[in-house]
Amino acid sequence: MAIDPRQGSSYLQYLPGIFADDPLLGRFLLAFEQVLTGLDGSEGEPARGLEEIIAAIPELFDPSATPREFLDWLASWVALGLRADWREDQQRDFLASIVPLYRRRGTKQNLISLLKIYTGLEPEISEGENTVFQIGAHSTVGIDTQINGSAPHYFRVTVTVPNPDPATLQRQNRIIRALIELEKPAHTAFDYYPKHTTMQIGVHSRIGVDTLIGDLAH
């Protein structure tokens, strides 16, 4: 709404009648009215009035409505960051779902869900099993035998990486390890094992694309 500065501020109507015809006071109050309501009529007026800005504060906490520059700030509320390579709609979807996930922080299912969101991969989490050494039952050295049983409060995260591109793999490994450290219960220990499908002629056999010789963990 445009206003003629010569008419003075509409706030004059709230003052005693003796001030209603004071042009100097009208122009003085007009500056405050423009700041509070965003009225047109002066050079350099605010784009929005303070009343409108204050009324819109709830939008800042809504991932679907908050301005782009507030997305990182919202993510900081749950001690997580947004991936720089996500599109804006992916960042908003992540923030919309993260609070319900945050309530389950420290659980197996929460970690699986977060790893899926951040990496787009399907993680598997296995917890220690009490497979003590038993000839004929658990007897494959290094696989299913343990002296005195499994370590307490231990779990293993296995992620199948479809593309062994070194740069992608290094970035994914950093993200996965950081998430596990952030989300796991403090008293637990873990191993992270990225794996890739072995070379199969006609199935996985494109050199430099989906074949890998060596250890994915490095």
pLDDT tens per residue across span 51-72: 777 888 888 889 988 999 999 9
Ordered DSSP codes for 37-101: H--SSSTT--SS-HHHHHHTGGGGG-TTTS-GGGHHHHHHTTT----TTS-HHHHHHHHHHHHHH
Angle, vertex CA 99, rays to CA 95 and CA 102, nearest 5: 120
How many percent of the chain have pLDDT more than 90?
5
Inter-residue contact 98 to 78 (CB < 8 Å):
yes
The domain spans of the chain are 1-55, 64-103, 110-218
- What pLDDT was estimated at residue 2? 45
Inter-residue contact 194 to 173 (CB < 8 Å):
yes
Mean pLDDT across 4-19? 70
* Banded pLDDT at 1 (limits 50, 70, 90): very low
Q: Which of 62-66, 137-141, 195-199, 206-210 has the highest mean pLDDT?
A: 62-66
Which residues are registered as beta bridge partners of 193? 158
| pTM of the complete model | 0.55
Least confident stretch, 22-36, 69-83, 136-150: 136-150
How many percent of the chain have pLDDT more than 70?
68
pLDDT tens per residue across span 140-153: 666 655 555 556 78
pLDDT tens per residue across span 157-185: 998 877 667 787 888 888 889 889 988 88
Neighbours of 80 (CB within 10 A): 20
* Banded pLDDT at 208 (limits 50, 70, 90): low
Inter-residue contact 65 to 59 (CB < 8 Å):
yes
